[in-house]
Structures are given as structure tokens and as C-alpha cells.
Chain A
Amino acid sequence: MASMAQAIRLALHYAEENLGVTDIFGEDVGPPLGGVFTTTQGLKTAWNTPLDERGIVGMAIGLALAGQRPVAEIQFCDYIFNTVDLLKLAGATYWSSNGGWNLPMVLKTPVGSGIRGSMYHSHSFESEATHIPGWKIVIPSTPLDAYGLMLSACQEENPVMFLEPKALLRIRGDELIPGCPEDDRTLSKMIDAPLGDRSQWKPNWPKLEPYTVPIGSAKRVLSGTRITVVSYGRTLPLCVKSASALAEQGIDAEVIDLRTLWPYDWEQIKASIEKTGRVLFVNEDTEVTNFGEHLIRRTTDELFYRLIAPPRLLAGKFVPGIGLADNLETASVPQLGEITEAIRSLASEEP
């Protein structure tokens, strides 16, 4: 089965062949490297840019204004912060021109911890991103969802931010990308660039089929009745693992993978909380003015009298960075043990 990095690459290949994507670009995105996480290897419209994040976002806006369909990459979201006013501008362009100009563009960037990336390769960005109206923001946790969300993003008429949980990029899924060979090695031989000289290499793309995950739709990964757990990105599989282990101990948790952070699938969250009366939001961004806090606010606003216990948030510590040492990283962002404990504790909380 494909890894998430391969799935994104396959989706971009499908998009440049079938969905009108004209440019896939960023630092080291084109040959020979094809992206620091290999998500853009072998793509015919991929090209390398100057080392200039503002230039990259500005180029995407300009291309979109000119009727092209760009997919731009910021190499790590830790380096996106100097583009924030351009992100705001992209989100505002359709509105400020009173419907005159829309921007069909995708901005992809790896997010989060999990690769021992220290101060500048471990940040999350979704709390900032969801504070910028006019964008749609997606974050897959499986290769197939990455494929389906990227195909949706590449058909959007608006700016879409595609957040790639970097800890999951190399993880293989258990669902088949439509049209892909099942065998890892066969797929790798077809689409992974060889080590060493790549100047003559060309990928042998499988005959892919379209598959879309609609933007705005969450996915119930586990069904349960005792407690709702809402997560996305790196922490989602940890929540599933915790919930599965707790299920054996009689704690029946429902796990929802949000997949789209804006516009998010409130109907699914709401239906689940109405059923369980308990909700834990889990993500790894710093916990102050965290996106999960918004979800808690909405939960208390709309579902207060349906709650059995306080809605809770398990998120990253509000410290200035994620330190390199193993102990520092694991103490900064939610790990499996903490998630299990948080679910267990909230599940047993009684009025």
C-alpha cells in the first residue's frame, strides 16, 4: 500500500493530468529532489523556486489570478509565518473584490512533530490557519484520505491549505489508492526516484482512478457510546490506538477524524456528542487559543445541556518551541499514554 507521501504524489500526478493543475512548486520541489518528503517526485509540472516563502505564496496568488491552477509548497510550516499577511490577502481577495477575483490555489505544507525536528521542523499551524477566513483547510491522517482530499483541493475555486502531518508521511495505509498496485515494492519501483543520478529517470505512473474526499466531511473511525474523541493529523491514529485498547477494558469511545478543519463537519461532531455526552478534543498545537478551544466553545454554546462532563482539550504545551531531546519533544506534545489517560479519565467522570 502507498505511504501518505506517495499518495500525495499520486494525487498531484492525477491532478496535473486530469484536473488542470499547471504548477507544483516550492523549495526543492522539482527535480532532482522532488520535495524533502518526496511528495512531488517525478511530477511533470514540478519546479524549484528561490528560497523565498513570500515569493512562493505571491507566485501562487499571481498564477491563480492569471487563471492557472497552482499547488505551492512551504517546505515546513515552521517557515510559513513570514507569509501570514499574504495568506490573509489570499483569503480576502474574493471578498474584498466583491466577488470579482477568486483564487483557485492549493498551499501544501508539512506540519507537526514526530520526526525529532527541533525548533524549526516541529510546529503546528492549524490554529493560525483557522484564524484566516476565506481559506479551506484540510489535514489527512491516512494515505487514501490524503489522495482524496488533494483531488478535492485541486478542484476548488478557493485557496485550500493542505496540511501534511509529517510524522505520518512515511506511514503506509491499509486502504488501496484506486488504480495502484497493492504491493509496496511494485509501487516503489514504479514511482520512487532511484538514489544517485536521477537525470534519466522517469516514473512509471499507475493508471489512477479519481477518488475524492469532500472538503468539510469528517470520518467516524471508531464507533462508541461512552465518549467522543475528535482529532486529526498525527494524534488521530494515537487516539484510535488508545480507544481500541480501552474498548477491551470496556470503555467504548467514538473517534472522529475531522479531516477538514475549515469548514468543519459540525453535524458529525454534534451528533456524536449528543450520543455520548462527553467529548475530548486532541491535537498537538499549543493549547492557548488552540483550534480545539473553538470547538469547545461551540460545544458549550450549543450542547451544554447534553453534556455529562466538561468538554476537554488535550493539546501541546504552551512553550516557545519543541526541544530536540526525546524527553523534551514527548513532554511538549500529546503522546499515546497521555491520550489513553485523558480518554479514560473523561470517560469515567460523572456529574
Chain B
Amino acid sequence: MNDSATTSRATRRPSSESAPLPLDRGLLIQMHELMVKARALEERLIQMYRQGHGFFWIGGPGEEAFNVPLGLLMKKGEGLDYDYLHAHYRQSATILALGEEPLGALRQMRNAATDPYSGGRNFAGHFSIKRWNVVPVSSPIEVQYVMAPGTALAQKRHGGDGITIVTGGDAGTAEGDFASCLVWSSRPNNELPILIVVANNQWGISTPACTQQGCKQISDRGKAFNIRSKTIDGNNPIASYQELQQAMAYVRQERKPFLLEALVSRLYGHSSASGANLVSNEVDCIAEYERWLEANGVLGRAQMEAVRAKWNQEMAEAARIAREEPQPGPETIWNFIYAEKK
């Protein structure tokens, strides 16, 4: 199905729908498409791993409802006037929502020489996009929390409305770097314009969060630092969009930190190391959203299936391209150890 067909069908209002939609209809449809696109990408990455076209998979299926609005709401560009993203490795939906082509992620999965983020050096989901202030994702689960205050301080000094966004998981908040982030973001008279996100999927690999951390909500930790904090349903893209919009407006205007905890699902386990199999006992945000879209007359079942089919096919085609590309040459290990003066 093509885009115009999707739009023409979607704009036909069914008679049952009378209440106004919570967000613009076009945005609701766009979010759906991006969520499906991100899911299709992740499932393709998993398939590549299964077929031996990549060594390891890790990613964010189950976090699309939060990650897509995050990408859509970012002020995209390079330099202090734009938002910096210190992401963790479950952020592909945000990257696609920013407008990135999925081929790069597939190339990184394939560790091809053409991998635009690491040249075949790093795992899937380890994005790095200088032109959009997406700083390199690294595998440690906490270090982004301790680096983010640096870009935020530069932005505070610079003025404007660019902010720093840092994301991580609930397990990583046990590390000292999360506490560092709260301390450094809220120094008296030096509060930083930083949106501190915790995507809480209630797991640290195989360990349930409830067996390790005694706090009732992770967002409660912000209170001690006088940081405005909230826990939201990250499986609901509409609520996520609205809450992110509010939190980001606060950070942009007040130039102060905000701690946002989003409750999300982890639909394919931690990584390929734990099998990357679909779990059946967690909420699937896309299925939920599709029920809502259908019930509210925004999209019909056939339209949504067509979107899914379209992206499955596009990802398969893109994966074929990535599969055929050369691996980095052994001599490239010596590239980019030191930067030269520009």
C-alpha cells in the first residue's frame, strides 16, 4: 500500500466517531507508521542475527510508543541550538522518528564497512549521528547519564532553547552515574536544561527490578534534588507524546532538569544472548495502539496491516542490500584513533 491510500482512507471519518481526537489525526497516523516501521526494523535485525548475518542483536522492540514521540519532538540539528541525544541501545524508534533511513541500522547489524555509525565496529542500535547531535551510543548502561550534563551545561551557557536528552533503562539507575546525573543537573543556581529519561521495562537482563531496587518509583529519586519528576505510561504513544511535550517545554523554557520515567515493555528479551524471542506476557504497545486507532476510526485494520506489510517488505529489501556489502578491511583498525586538526 502506498502513503496516499493510507491518508485517503484515514481521513474518512466513521459515523461512530464524535469525540475530538487527542492529537492531530495526521500525527496519530504518522506515529503509528513510525512505530510499525521501527518494529519491522527490529524484527528484521533479529532475523539477520538468526540467519547469521550479524553477531549480536540488542534493541528496543516494545519501547516504540515512547521512543517515536521522543524523536518527533526533538529539535533536530547540529550544535548547541539543537537538542543533544545521549541515548541507550534501545532507541531505534527515536532515530527513525528523527528521519533516519533504516538502512544504516541494518548495515551496523551486518557490521558492514558502510555502517554509518561505527564502520562495522559496534553492535546494532549503537547510533552516532553528528549532524543531529546524536552522540555515540555505548554499551555500558550508565555512562550516558554522567556525560549528558556536559552538553547541557554548554547549552545553558549558550542560551536558546536547545536541550539535552539522556535515556537509559531502569537497571542502569542503580549505577552511581544516575545519581551523578541528578546531582550535576540540579546544582544550586546551576540547574541544567536536561530531560532525564528512564525507560523502565522492569528488567535487568534476567533480574526483575522489584528484587533489586526498593524505591516505589524511580522518578521519586528526582524529588530529593528538587527536580520535577513524573512516571508515565510509556506504552501509550498519545500519553507519551503529551507528557514529553510538557516536560520538554518545561526544560526548554525554564532551563531546568526534568526526570521522566516511562513504563515500557521489553518484547524480545534483553538481547540475542537471551534468545530474542517474542514474549507473550507483556503489553505490546503497537497492538494496543492499533486497537485504539481502529476503535476511534483513525485507521482500519486493513490499512494497518498494509503499513506493516509495506515496512516488512522494505526492511527485507534493505537487509538484502546490507548483506551484500563488504566487511571493513583489517587495515581499518588503525583508522580514527586520533583526530587531526581541522
Contacts and interface: CB of A to CB of B under 8 A. Distances in A.
Contacts of A157: 338-342
A139 interface: no
A44 to B, nearest CB: 14
A62 B153 contact: yes
B263 to A, nearest CB: 27
B72 interface: no
B118 interface: yes
Contact of A98 (B80, B140, B336, B341): B336
Interface in A78-110: 85-86, 89, 92-102
B118 A54 contact: no
Contact of B153 (A59, A67, A85, A94): A59
B136, B152, B176 — most chain A CB neighbours (10 Å): B136
A89 B86 CA distance: 14
Of the four ranges (under 10, 10 to 19, 20 to 34, 35 or more), the interface on chain B belongs to 35 or more
Contact of A63 (B115, B129, B154): B154
A39 interface: no
Q: Which of B150, B153, B183, B336 has most chain A Cβ within 10 Å? A: B150
Given A55-B180, A99-B339, A157-B338, A65 B118 contact: no
A157 B180 CA distance: 27
Contact of A94 (B184, B187, B339): B339
Contacts, number: 136
Interface in A37-68: 49-50, 52, 54-55, 57-68
Contacts of B148: 58, 62
**Max chain B Cβ within 10 angstroms of own Cβ: one of A23, A65, A136:** A65
B171 to A, nearest CB: 17
B152 to A, nearest CB: 7
B117 interface: yes
Given A94-B339, A95-B337, A86 B154 contact: no
Contacts of B138: 89, 92, 96
Given A52-B183, A63-B150, A94 B338 contact: yes
- In the complex, which of the residues A52, A60, A96 has the most CB atoms of chain B within 10 Å of its own CB atom? A96
Contacts of A98: 115-119, 121, 128, 335-336
A23 B153 CA distance: 10
A94 B135 contact: no
B128 A101 contact: yes
Contact of A62 (B115, B116, B150): B150
A49, A50, A99, A102 interface centre (most CB from chain B within 10 Å): A99
B183 A63 contact: no
B150 A96 contact: no
A152 to B, nearest CB: 12
A97 B137 CA distance: 9
A158 B339 contact: yes
A134 interface: yes
Size bin of chain A's contact surface: 35 or more
A344 B304 CA distance: 85
A214 interface: no
B337 A133 contact: yes
Interface in B100-146: 115-119, 121-122, 126, 128-130, 135-136, 138, 140, 143, 145-146
Given A62-B148, A65-B84, A67-B79, A99 B335 contact: yes
B275 to A, nearest CB: 27
A58 B146 contact: yes
29 contacts: A22-B154, A49-B184, A52-B184, A54-B177, A54-B180, A55-B183, A57-B146, A58-B143, A58-B184, A59-B147, A59-B149, A59-B150, A59-B153, A62-B148, A62-B154, A65-B147, A68-B150, A85-B143, A86-B143, A89-B140, A92-B138, A94-B337, A96-B126, A96-B138, A99-B119, A101-B128, A101-B130, A158-B338, A158-B339
Given A98-B121, A101-B130, 18 more contacts: A55-B146, A58-B148, A59-B146, A61-B147, A62-B148, A65-B147, A66-B151, A67-B79, A67-B80, A85-B140, A94-B336, A95-B336, A96-B121, A96-B128, A96-B138, A136-B338, A157-B339, A158-B339
Interface of A: 22-23, 49-50, 52, 54-55, 57-68, 70, 85-86, 89, 92-102, 133-134, 136, 155, 157-158
